[in-house]
């Protein structure tokens, strides 16, 4: 009887923990769009290319910086595993550097950083 009580008590603990577990109930917020890792990478590349295209068209540094910020914000949606996250953070640092160069109106350096970031984003696909 003591063994049965212990088993029932431990089963009730497991059931109650599973019932209120946040990971079991996890879902995205209503109205929030979630992307698969490859889709998020592709969108980040597209936004980076848009910033690169703005540089070649002769846009101002502030406009280019805003486009680079959009690309950096989109890169936050890339969620796959730890290796991808470490590589993503390195690519995002290149975007931050490009944004700093764009704000300082040194668009040639920003262009090179953007090219490196696009290459880095393409390399992320191999890590998934």
Q: How far apart are CA 59 and CA 53, in angstroms?
A: 9
State pLDDT tens for residues 88-110.
999 999 999 999 999 998 889 99
Domain presence at residue 41: yes
Q: Which helix (H) or strand (E) holds 119?
A: helix 107-124
Mean pLDDT for the stretch of residues 109-128: 90
Look at the alpha carbons of 67, 70, 72, 75 in this order and tell me if their dihedral is positive or negative. negative
What's 42's domain CATH number?
Answer: 1.20.120
State pLDDT tens for residues 11-56.
888 777 766 655 555 555 566 667 788 898 999 999 999 999 999 9
Model pLDDT, residue 97: 94
Range of the domain at 106: 32-127
Model pLDDT, residue 15: 77
Mean pLDDT for the stretch of residues 2-16: 82
Q: Which helix (H) or strand (E) holds 115?
A: helix 107-124
Domain presence at residue 17: no
């Amino acid at each position: 009887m003591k063994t049965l009580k212990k088993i029932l008590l431990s089963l009730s603990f497991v059931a109650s923990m599973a019932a209120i577990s946040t990971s079991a109930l996890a879902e995205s917020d209503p109205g929030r769009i979630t992307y698969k890792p490859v889709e998020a990478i592709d969108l980040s590349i597209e936004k980076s290319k848009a910033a690169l295209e703005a540089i070649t068209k002769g846009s101002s540094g502030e406009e280019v910086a805003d486009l680079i910020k959009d690309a950096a914000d989109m890169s936050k949606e890339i969620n796959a595993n730890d290796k991808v996250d470490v590589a993503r953070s390195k690519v995002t640092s290149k975007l931050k550097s490009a944004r700093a160069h764009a704000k300082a109106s040194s668009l040639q350096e920003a262009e090179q950083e953007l090219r490196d970031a696009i290459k880095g984003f393409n390399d992320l696909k191999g890590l998934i």
